[in-house]
Chains A and B, each alone.
Chain A
Amino acid sequence: DAKTTQPNSMESNEEEPVHLPCNHSTISGTDYIHWYRQLPSQGPEYVIHGLTSNVNNRMASLAIAEDRKSSTLILHRATLRDAAVYYCILSQETSGSRLTFGEGTQLTVNP
């Protein structure tokens, strides 16, 4: 599995946008970019995924660089409930195959 690199931690203020970066310079042409987040003492939950084009859903937006070697998860207005560890993961499928988790980014949201 191709490797991803994320900052260990980031901080944001409530109601401000948050941009969580992910580098994946060894991404292959068929790798999907997945984002999951994990709240304390819970299992991970799906946030968003994409292949080449930017993606939006009710939780977040995913901006993918033109060369696909990096991506950014955008939370438009952070809330205290968004405080979690965010994982950027590459997988050759959208479902069914194993996911390999990296260390993720611990997001702290300040009131």
Chain B
Amino acid sequence: GAVVSQHPSWVICKSGTSVKIECRSLDFQATTMFWYRQFPKQSLMLMATSNEGSKATYEQGVEKDKFLINHASLTLSTLTVTSAHPEDSSFYICSVSPPGYGYTFGSGTRLTVV
């Protein structure tokens, strides 16, 4: 499978500020990456599909202006939570999917907005 590095593993930010989360595919050129969010005691929820060189595809109910996704290279996708509020506190996880190798997930980023 692929190797995925997600950074930071945790971050605390003040309400109203923006936070950027990076997802790197270390050994696979990923034209597509997936971003999930997971609230405590809940399952993963797909937020968006990140497409290299083009706009991300957002799931219904996910605000694209609040969760900015940039996938400028085949090895890096970033998720920026803009004007974060306490309700955005969650565990954010990225994923890549090399053909024939299933899905590999990052280790996740714990975001706490205070």
Interface residues of A (CB under 8 A from B): 34, 36, 38, 41-46, 49, 87, 94-104
Contacts and interface: CB of A to CB of B under 8 A. Distances in A.
Most chain B CB atoms below 10 A, which of A36, A42, A43, A103: A43
B43 interface: yes
A99 B108 contact: no
Interface in B64-84: none
Given A43-B6, A97-B97, A101-B45, 8 more contacts: A34-B103, A36-B103, A41-B110, A43-B107, A44-B105, A95-B97, A96-B99, A98-B49
A30 to B, nearest CB: 16
Interface residues of B, number: 27
A99 B43 contact: no
B96 to A, nearest CB: 9
Contacts of B97: 95-97
10 contacts: A36-B103, A41-B110, A42-B107, A43-B6, A43-B108, A44-B105, A46-B103, A96-B99, A99-B34, A103-B43
Interface of B: 1, 4, 6, 32, 34, 36, 43-46, 49, 91, 93, 95, 97-108, 110
A94 to B, nearest CB: 6
A34 B97 CA distance: 13
Nearest to A96: B97
Ranked 4 nearest A-B pairs via Cβ: A43-B105, A95-B97, A101-B44, A101-B43
A104 B1 CA distance: 23
Nearest to B4: A43
A101 B47 CA distance: 12
Nearest to B6: A43
A87 B42 CA distance: 12
B44 A95 contact: no
A7 to B, nearest CB: 14
B106 A43 contact: yes
B107 A99 contact: no
